[in-house]
Structures are given as structure tokens and as C-alpha cells.
Structure 1
Amino acid sequence: MPQVRTTQLVAEMVANVLRIEAPAGTRVAAGDIVVLLESMKMEIPVLAEAPGTVSAVKVESGDVVQEGDVLAEISLD
């Protein structure tokens, strides 16, 4: 059975979660927005680094995240 490779998307700063752009089960390409954060009145897109499928979203709209918090996981192609 092949091993599934995953990557985690993490918050780079304290921010509010504005929207989940790619819920679990969504196929994404490198550069697609997965989660949209807001900090200091600026929108900060969190992008998929590689193609795959969003396997888990660890936050909800309205959550406050801290630097280093895991936002989502992507199973890589």
C-alpha cells in the first residue's frame, strides 16, 4: 500500500479566519487559496504549495489563530 504524503498549511501570524476557500475534499493546484486570513485590516491568502486534495481543515470562519497553528492539511498527488 503506497504511503500518502501530506503537507500542513500553518498560520504565519496572529490572524482571524475570514473564509475557508477550499473545504476538505477539494482538489487544489499549487497556488490555490485554501484559507483566507485577516490581520491588521489586510487579507492574507494561505496558498496550497503543491497539487493535491484538502484532507482536513482545522479551523472555522471566525476563529482567531496564532502563529504556527495548523490551518489545513493537503494530501499530495
Structure 2
Amino acid sequence: MIEARADIVASVWKLLVREGDPVGAGDQIAVLESMKMEIPVVAPVGGHVTRVCVDEGQIVQEGDAIVEIDSSAGA
């Protein structure tokens, strides 16, 4: 499993994927908000989302997992 992680301390403003969704490398999967700035989170690899690790509105720390992606089957 590959994890897409938060780059900064922020609030999870919007989740754009759910468990089971296919994603391609570089697809936007979530939007974080910090100091009124929107920070996109993108999939590091293509595959299928196996777990969403956060909820909208949750505060995440730098390095926290946002989603897990199974890249073995591709997108």
C-alpha cells in the first residue's frame, strides 16, 4: 500500500475520493486548508483507494496519511 500524506499541518477541507475509487498518479484526492489557503493533495501513484484515513474537518499533522492506495492493479 502507498499512502498519500499531508505536506503541512492543516484542516481537511474536502475529500474527493472514497474507498474503492480508482485514481491515477497525480489525480487530486483531497483539499487541505491552512491560513485560508487551499492545498491540493494528489495521488502519488495510480491504483485504487483502499482506505480513507481522515474525515472532512479533521486537523492533520505534516506526514499524516490521507488515503491508502493499492497500486498493484493500476488505475
Say yes or no: TM over 0.5: yes
- TM-score, L = length of structure 1: 0.88
1:37 aligns with 2:12: no
In the other structure, the counterpart of 1:21 is 16
Query: Structure 2: 5+ residue runs without aligned partners?
Result: none
In the other structure, the counterpart of 2:58 is 63
**Matched residues in 2 for 1:40 and 1:24: separation?**
29
1:30 is displaced (CA, Å) by 1.1
Q: How much identity, in percent, do the aligned residues show?
A: 44
RMSD: 0.8
- 2:7 equivalent among 4, 8, 12: 12
Structure 1 residue ranges (4+ consecutive) displaced by more than 4 angstroms after TM superposition: none
**Matched residues in 1 for 2:4 and 2:70: separation?**
11
Larger Rg: 1
* Number of equivalenced pairs: 72
